Amino acid sequence: MHGKLIFILMHLTCALITFLASNNSWAKATNDSNPWEADIEAGAVLTSGNTNTSSLNTAIQMQYTTDSWLVKTKLTALNSKENNKTSKEKYTGKINYDKNLTKRWYLGLTGQQERDRFNGFYYQGSAAISLGYKLLQKNRHQLSLEVGPGYFRERARNKNTLNSENIARVATAYTWEINPNVELEKEYIIESGNKKTIQSFSAGLKSKLSHSLAAKLKFKTRHSSKVPIDNNNSDTETSLNLVYKF
């Protein structure tokens, strides 16, 4: 099951989205607009930490939004080669289900998994349920906070050991529409248990080039309080991608 977590989450998302789309009486799209959004992005990446190299970064994201629900799934891949040898290979999958309780309060369910050949783990994954609150809902500023319990699991490559624990998850997300063509996004997530704490931060600046095409500059960093021997506690990625929106 653990090796197929991303695919299971994808199937669950597709099933839920199909249900939402076929049941108009249960969930109506906001302002009767198209509830579907999808985009593909690709570009070059500079990394530092466990590896220092140039890479190719790709991502696919789908989103379904109604007055009651937000369902979002994202798959990313990062691959590099040095002297015809793979030096970086990482795949991540993430799914979010958010159910609005009021105009500001919502219930969230999040699941994610990361597979990285060069970080000392076969995989790392977590799932959490949280209560969220929209602190800002202005036209140009959106800010939300989520807090809740979760579960973390990882399999280390050295000795092939399996570690798992209950965690507390805190997440905040901020979006600022600087102007109709430029948008700033920030996200900060803490997943903390008795054995380790993982902190993730990302910031992205997206500029529209046309109705369907945009350029995106993004910075990501991830810090783990406990890692295998010969691995760094922090990894960073800086990318410049082209984003095509369907």
Tell me the mean pLDDT in the region 176-188: 96
Pairing of strands 105-116, 85-100: antiparallel
What's the pLDDT score for residue 44?
75
Residue with structure tokens 């901020």? 174
- Write down the pTM of the prediction: 0.81
Q: How confident is the model at residue 87 (pLDDT cuts 50, 70, 90)?
A: confident
Residue 178 CB neighbour total at 10 angstroms: 12
d(CA 176, CA 6): 30
Cα dihedral 102→104→109→110 (10° resolution): 160
Delineate the domains of the chain, giving CATH numbers in brackets: 2-245 (2.40.160.40)
**What pLDDT shows up at residue 174?**
97
* DSSP for residue 31: G
Average pLDDT over residues 183-191: 97
> Where residue 75 falls among pLDDT bands split at 50, 70, 90?
very high
Give the mean pLDDT of 159-188: 94
Q: Give yes or no for residue 152 having a pLDDT over 60.
A: yes
Q: What is the rounded distance in angstroms from the CA atom of residue 216 to the CA atom of residue 123?
A: 28
Please state whether 31 falls in left (phi above 0), alpha (psi between -120 and 50) or beta. Answer: left
Share of the chain above pLDDT 90, in %: 57
Classify burial at 130, counting beta carbons within 10 Å of its beta carbon; exposed 0-12, middle 13-18, buried 19 or more: buried
Provide the mean pLDDT of the chain.
Answer: 84
